[in-house]
Every structure is written in structure tokens, then in C-alpha cells.
Amino acid sequence: MDLIAKVLVALLGLLHVYIMWLEMFQWTSKRGRRAFGTTAEFAEASKVLAANQGLYNGFLAAGLFWGLSLGAAGRPVELFFAACVLVAGLYGAATANRRILFVQALPAALTLAALLFS
């Protein structure tokens, strides 16, 4: 189960690298607008805010990878950052788009469960 937990931490980190990339570098592109369901006008007007949000997602990924790099001693770090992702996902689902519950919160909850029970 420990291997499963480590793989889920890595996948959660990669997910947040991808989200960071979309928000920071693809926000106004067709791909970015399709991913977030925005219009070209909205994307252009909000690109600075999206880049800031992307940076925060990058920090979540960095924390998850940091925890992995510490080996067994990184478990508390992995737990903390997975919990942060879960809280962010729940908040995003409640305030922005319910789809975030499945894209962000569910993977974080599965990762937390694997970490806690391995």
C-alpha cells in the first residue's frame, strides 16, 4: 500500500503541475478556455488572476514532490499538502465549479486515504 500512496502523491503533484501550466501559460488559448469554460474576453480580462492562481497550484505540486523526496520522513509533508489540495478542491467546488470536486478534491481524498492507511 505504501507504493500506492507514493504513486498517488506523485500523480496528484503532476495534476497540479498540469493545472499550473493551464492557468499560467494556456489561460487565453483555446485549450485553456475549453478546460475552464471561459470566453476569450473573460480569459483576457482575468489572465493575471489566473496566473496567480496557477502559481499557487505550482506550490501545491512542489510541496507534494518535496514530501516524496524526503522518503519515509516526508509522510507529514505529503499529508499536509494533500490536505491543502483537498481543502482547495472543496472550496473550488463550492464556490466556482462543481466539477472541481472530481478533478481536484476526489484525487486528493484518495491520496490522503492511501497515505493514512499505508
pLDDT in tens, 59-111: 999 999 999 999 999 999 999 999 999 999 999 999 999 999 999 999 999 99
Tens digits of per-residue pLDDT, 3-49?
999 999 999 999 999 999 999 999 999 999 999 999 999 999 999 99
pTM, entire model: 0.95
71: region left, alpha or beta (phi > 0 left; psi from -120 to 50 alpha): left
Q: Distance between CA 66 and CA 25 in Å, rounded?
A: 23
Neighbours of 41 (CB within 10 A): 8
Look at residue 69 in the predicted model and tell me its pLDDT.
97
Instruction: Please give the single-letter amino acid code of residue 76.
Output: P
Q: Is residue 111 a contact partner of residue 16, using CB atoms and an 8 Å limit?
A: no
Range of the domain at 56: 2-116
Count up the domains in the chain and report the number: 1
Q: How confident is the model at residue 1 (pLDDT cuts 50, 70, 90)?
A: low
Cell of 84: 491543502
